[in-house]
Amino acid sequence: MPERSATLQAFLASMHATIQARTHASDPAALAAGRIFAALEESGSSNPRQPKQVPACAYLEDALLAATQAGRSGTEHASALADLAPNLAWYTRPGSDDVDERFATGHANATIIGTGGLEECPNVRIGVSLLAPDVHYPDHRHPPEEVYVPLSPGAWRQDDGPWREPGLDGIVYNPPNILHAMRSASAPLLATWCLWGE
Ligand SMILES: [Fe+2]
């Protein structure tokens, strides 16, 4: 079995534990997480990346510090993310220059598990997103269902429904193919996410 670093294993374990702590066992988010983390019990092929930063990463340190000091259910997960962060290759969403400059320079994503991430695993993608203050991450959709783990204040929307703030002990679950968006207010938005799709 290929080796998984202790840092990555601690991150994955903390993510699953945080989702479990924030959900009931029968919630769709808990069931999706169960499938995702069961698939990760065996490590996939490791794929060390050349770490890379984009402009919005200027907010990463403050966002991580706030998340690790929040004293809420995500504290341990935020610490594990802080340990992993120096290894990540951050990128902006393809085509984001066409949206507007505030979005193009105000967001950063990094893949942790999946194509372009630190480890490959069929059917699973795990990553992290960061928004600078007052940035709107536009509507998007994808076939896999998705669970976001908020580690900061921020708001999420599905279809043309209301903006909702899950809070620092909340979870966002996006069913397959649903249109969804997120936005930050005065603080940076930091959230990890995982997707399951066969
Ligand atoms: Fe998404």
DSSP state of 122: T
What pLDDT was estimated at residue 98? Answer: 79
50 Cα–ligand 1 center, Å: 24
pLDDT at 85 over 70: yes
119 Cα–ligand 1 center, Å: 20
47 pLDDT band, cuts 50/70/90, is: confident
CATH label, 6-196, candidates 3.30.590.10, 2.60.40.1930, 3.30.565.10, 2.60.120.10: 2.60.120.10
More confident call, 1 vs 55: 55
How far is Cα of residue 75 from the mean position of the Cα atoms in its chain? 15
129 Cα–ligand 1 center, Å: 10
pLDDT at 39 over 60: yes
Question: What is the mean pLDDT of the segment spanning 63-92?
Answer: 96
Global pTM reads 0.96
1 Cα–ligand 1 center, Å: 30
Do residues 121 and 114 touch, judged by C-beta distance below 8 A?
Answer: yes
Question: What is the mean pLDDT of the segment spanning 123-133?
Answer: 97
Domain boundaries, the chain: 6-196
Q: Where are the alpha helices (DSSP H) in 69-178?
A: 75-84, 101-106
